[in-house]
Structure 1
Amino acid sequence: MTVQDRQDQTASASVEPGIIGKGRWIERWTPEDDVFWEAKGKAIAFRNLIFSIVAEHIGFSIWMLWSIVVVRMYGTFDDAGNLVATGANGWALTAEQGLTLLAVASGVGAFLRIPYTFAVPIFGGRNWTVISALLLIIPTAGLAWVVGRPDTSFGILVAIAATAGFGGGNFASSMSNITFFYPDKAKGWALGLNAAGGNIGVAVAQKLVPIVIGIGGIGLAMAGLVYLPLAVIAAVLAFVFMDNLREAKADPKPTVRSLRHGHTWLMSFLYVGTFGSFIGYSAAFPTLLTVVFDRADIALAWGFLGALLGSLARPYGGKLADRFGGSIITVAAFVLMAVAGWSAVQGVQGENLPLFFVSFMALFLITGLGNGSTYRMIPSIFNRLRDDKGDGSEESNLDFKRQSAGAVGIISAVGAFGGFAIPFVYKWSREAFEGSIVPALQIYIGVFLVMAALTWVFYLRKGARMQGV
């Protein structure tokens, strides 16, 4: 803890909890005090949660805009690879090019979660929410500009799609910020709601974009233009209604210290399986319906449904974890994801679109539950580390709380790289196996089973140091 940190802590100790000062800074925050929480803290925390959700929702929507826009940009090719017909606005993307765009947007969003995690301690949660929302003007304006220029090089198209990653970075800072506002007993539900509100932006974008691109006579450009003012509105709402917490405003060293714990990296790997699957499948599902079953109509009309189910399920995964423990819910989720993946393979091999569609709906639903339960495990793990390695002082307890918040952001960043890998694995599978995605699905099944085993060994097995977190 720095000298300035100690001075801030000493000064805030004499301040009444929950008082909002200059710059909307709250100098003292004591959510574990039941009296304060019920009288004042809960209302303040909920207000910040609501507007955090708004900003994160817009960010997620913009992050996944390309998942539905590319469906309209695919060309039609014959068996020899000759172009038969162009897509919207004169574009003629191949499936492999489309999957590359989706992977790049997802990958940049995952990478940006790392600096976004450090932004909350540096700038304050409310302040960074404003800044990160304003940054969303770049990808929305870029998309609106480029989709009307089919002669644009693929490299420039990739670069513009990459800026959509600004929307993916928002998640890490939002979750890191909100974890400070809530007491341990309510973190699972609060983090689940915050994440679900963001995640549901994927479904909203995938449902809204096919509708708005028919408005105004400018085609695909409307996909960007409709979200540009929404990004500005999210920034204004955060500026007016959100708060900064002094205890979250610290040097980033606790986040760095969280990286020393092996559990931070193990949870990052497990989060690749839950959230990485959710965001990767969300990005790729409309494309799979289009290129595997040649049903762009279903992709545009119903491609959003999986992301919606996964988003709505997330807070319930957190709630179940609050009640039964995150580890047991997470193990069950990975096993059920493997079963749903096997069912999807049967749908592809049997050319059975209804079975494939239902299997993916189950996958989305279970990833949502798993997202909530894995996130709930993080503060529980750091509480256990605090009890084992801390000295019981207020300074030590605050340090582990900050480590936990930092780990939330880092884990979300690493986990999101699943969204980068999944489209590329589909692309590899199609190129190496004559257009089949079955090998890709089989790889995912194997990974899910490995993750279930690791969760059981480290967090559920009798005698495990972190048993029952």
Structure 2
Amino acid sequence: MTAPSTAPAPPSRGGRWIQQWDPEDETFWKETGEKVAKRNLLFSVLSEHIGFSIWTMWSVLVLFMGPEYGLTPADKFLLTSMVTLVGAVVRVPYTFAVAIFGGRNWTIISAGLLLVPTVAAFAVIKPGTSFNTFLLVGLLAGIGGGNFASSMTNINAFFPLRKKGWALGLNAGGGNIGVPVIQLVALAIIGASGGPRVLLGIYIPFILVAAVLAALFMDNIENVKNDTGAAKDAVKDGHTWIMSFLYIGTFGSFIGYSFAFGQVLQNQFGRTPLEAAYVTFIGPLLGSLIRPVGGALADKYGGAKITLYNYVGMAVATAVLIVASMQKSLGLFTVAFVVLFVLSGLGNGSTFKMIPGIFQTKALAKGLEGEAAAAYGRRLSGASMGLIGAVGALGGVGINLAFRQSFLSYGSGTGAFVAFLAFYAACFLVTWAVYLRRSAAKGQATTASEAKPQLSYAEV
């Protein structure tokens, strides 16, 4: 089989455009597609990585903000909640941006935009600045959260279904590592008695490098552009919202805990900024590194099964956190929190692998075959990923607000953890009821009409 041409579109379109892209064609994939896809994946990860760092930089900056800044713990939780909220909301337009501008073009733009919140924070981060000013500048940092949505939508189009769990897990995991990296850099700066402006100054040149490398080495895919109608179809599909709910439990936990972990250690266990910084990076780091593993396990065993068992683990870890919180056991609390981070990362990988599998199953159920089925799956899964990512990130808002209220009401995070435990139980039930119970029902079917592909999502 001859590989399709990947010649760029006429120069008048601008940029680097691939007109024909068929990763499901094994000949094309081996001869042309894999190399191009992996190159785009590499530079997508870089830009998304820095985006995550900028989005979560206020989880670090609040550690620098001692009594001289005049902020209460409730103020800091509110600040990080609002940063998380903006990061969630902007994921929706960032998803559409890939279809409007092209994946490469939008990566350049979105990377460059990260300069705005970084330079603004550099200008205002000092004692005497009002809380409202910090809140306004913090809101700007939320745009870093959008890079995830556009990156995942873009990379989803580059890889075949059989590789999506690994590719999306690696893409997201590499991005997620931006959280512990900025925390590690902050640890080094705090340890050297440096200030927050040193941290911000380090990131400005890296943002410029990411934008330039995206311009030099990434590509746009022609058939992804001008398909904004896919978002409307994704919104109408119930699976988009079911998966959004499940992603609240995994990614919402990851990003929410990333913002809150250091503050909980300071407020509940009396840790100093340096003491908190010594451990806050461990959970996000391990949670990021294991995300591709979650995707790979989902490729092998089915995303629904891995997600189901993962929620069991998250519930158990949360129960241990409740006990540790009530007994004021810092060691047990820290270990359980890190385990919860790891499980949230594993679940991030498995839930996102489910998305293309679900829409591929629906395509086959509609009678589509071959490239037609693959194109349908890519179209809807790519559009839904941004929406799912946006709703999932709202979980991070809920976590920080829950901690804020718990500390205001009880002086500890115990009340928040009880609420999280109940939510993980709900996620377990939804996963089983929607994606695994139907598979069991299919096994009991006796007629051919009852055995349609859409009845089984257990392998997605």
- Same fold (TM > 0.5): yes
The answer to whether the Cα contact below 8 Å between 2:64 and 2:195 also exists between their aligned partners in 1 is no
Once residues 342 and 255 of structure 1 are traced to their aligned partners in structure 2, the CA distance between those partners, rounded to angstroms, is 38
SS at match of 1:29: coil
Note the residue ranges of structure 2 that are not aligned, 5 or more in a row. 443-454
Q: Which residue of 2 aligns with 1:384?
A: 361
Q: Which residue of 1 aligns with 2:196?
A: 220
Match of 1:71 among 40, 44, 63: 63
Say whether residues 1:429 and 2:406 are aligned partners.
yes
The answer to whether the Cα contact below 8 Å between 2:24 and 2:371 also exists between their aligned partners in 1 is no
Say whether residues 1:295 and 2:283 are aligned partners.
no
Q: Which residue of 2 aligns with 1:209?
A: 186
Counterpart code for 2:152: M
Once residues 273 and 375 of structure 1 are traced to their aligned partners in structure 2, the CA distance between those partners, rounded to angstroms, is 12
Q: Which residue of 1 aligns with 2:298?
A: 321
Once residues 417 and 107 of structure 1 are traced to their aligned partners in structure 2, the CA distance between those partners, rounded to angstroms, is 6
Say whether residues 1:34 and 2:26 are aligned partners.
yes
Match of 2:49 among 54, 57, 75: 57
**Inter-CA distance 391–39: structure 2 relative to 1 (3 Å threshold):** closer
Counterpart code for 2:300: R
Q: Which moved more, 1:101-110 or 1:380-389?
A: 380-389
Give the TM-score, by structure 1 length: 0.91
Counterpart code for 1:467: Y
Q: Which residue of 2 aligns with 1:365?
A: 342
The answer to whether the Cα contact below 8 Å between 1:179 and 1:191 also exists between their aligned partners in 2 is yes
Shift of 1:40: 1.6
Once residues 319 and 370 of structure 2 are traced to their aligned partners in structure 1, the CA distance between those partners, rounded to angstroms, is 50
Once residues 17 and 30 of structure 1 are traced to their aligned partners in structure 2, the CA distance between those partners, rounded to angstroms, is 10
Instruction: Give CA deviations for 1:32-78 in whole Å, capped at 9, x if unaligned.
Output: 11111111211110000000000000000111111011012132xxx
Once residues 197 and 74 of structure 1 are traced to their aligned partners in structure 2, the CA distance between those partners, rounded to angstroms, is 31
SS at match of 1:108: helix
The answer to whether the Cα contact below 8 Å between 2:360 and 2:373 also exists between their aligned partners in 1 is no
Say whether residues 1:254 and 2:254 are aligned partners.
no
Q: Which residue of 1 aligns with 2:251?
A: 275
Q: Which residue of 2 aligns with 1:128?
A: 106
Once residues 282 and 255 of structure 1 are traced to their aligned partners in structure 2, the CA distance between those partners, rounded to angstroms, is 29
After superposition, residues 349-360 of structure 1 pair within 5 angstroms as 349-360=326-337
Match of 2:7 among 14, 19, 22: 19
The answer to whether the Cα contact below 8 Å between 1:123 and 1:249 also exists between their aligned partners in 2 is yes
Q: Which moved more, 1:45-54 or 1:297-306?
A: 297-306
Match of 1:333 among 281, 292, 310: 310
Say whether residues 1:147 and 2:125 are aligned partners.
yes
Give the TM-score, by structure 2 length: 0.92
Question: Identity across aligned pairs (percent)?
Answer: 46
The answer to whether the Cα contact below 8 Å between 2:71 and 2:131 also exists between their aligned partners in 1 is no
Shift of 1:267: 0.2
Say whether residues 1:117 and 2:95 are aligned partners.
yes
Q: Which residue of 2 aligns with 1:78?
A: none
Shift of 1:101: 1.1
The answer to whether the Cα contact below 8 Å between 1:254 and 1:399 also exists between their aligned partners in 2 is no
Counterpart code for 1:161: G
The answer to whether the Cα contact below 8 Å between 1:213 and 1:222 also exists between their aligned partners in 2 is no
The answer to whether the Cα contact below 8 Å between 1:99 and 1:427 also exists between their aligned partners in 2 is yes
Instruction: Give CA deviations for 1:171-196 in whole Å, capped at 9, x if unaligned.
Output: 00000000000000000000000000
Match of 1:96 among 55, 74, 90: 74
Note the residue ranges of structure 1 that are not aligned, 5 or more in a row. 1-13, 76-85
Count of equivalent residues: 439
Counterpart code for 1:272: I
Shift of 1:210: 2.9
Shift of 1:395: 5.9
Q: Which residue of 1 aligns with 2:445?
A: none
Instruction: Give CA deviations for 1:297-351 in whole Å, capped at 9, x if unaligned.
Output: 3211221000001000100000000000000100111110010001111111111
Once residues 343 and 437 of structure 1 are traced to their aligned partners in structure 2, the CA distance between those partners, rounded to angstroms, is 13
Shift of 1:15: 9.4
SS at match of 1:30: coil
Counterpart code for 1:19: A
Once residues 156 and 35 of structure 1 are traced to their aligned partners in structure 2, the CA distance between those partners, rounded to angstroms, is 56
Shift of 1:391: 4.9
The answer to whether the Cα contact below 8 Å between 1:60 and 1:198 also exists between their aligned partners in 2 is yes
Q: Which residue of 2 aligns with 1:163?
A: 140
The answer to whether the Cα contact below 8 Å between 2:356 and 2:377 also exists between their aligned partners in 1 is no
The answer to whether the Cα contact below 8 Å between 2:154 and 2:382 also exists between their aligned partners in 1 is yes
Once residues 371 and 293 of structure 2 are traced to their aligned partners in structure 1, the CA distance between those partners, rounded to angstroms, is 32
Shift of 1:214: 6.8
Counterpart code for 1:357: T
The answer to whether the Cα contact below 8 Å between 1:213 and 1:221 also exists between their aligned partners in 2 is no
Q: Which residue of 1 aligns with 2:261?
A: 285
Match of 2:389 among 388, 406, 412: 412
Q: Which moved more, 1:37-46 or 1:150-159?
A: 150-159
The answer to whether the Cα contact below 8 Å between 1:17 and 1:36 also exists between their aligned partners in 2 is no
Once residues 339 and 434 of structure 2 are traced to their aligned partners in structure 1, the CA distance between those partners, rounded to angstroms, is 26
Q: Which residue of 1 aligns with 2:151?
A: 174
The answer to whether the Cα contact below 8 Å between 2:364 and 2:373 also exists between their aligned partners in 1 is no
The answer to whether the Cα contact below 8 Å between 1:254 and 1:400 also exists between their aligned partners in 2 is no
Say whether residues 1:107 and 2:99 are aligned partners.
no
Shift of 1:251: 2.8
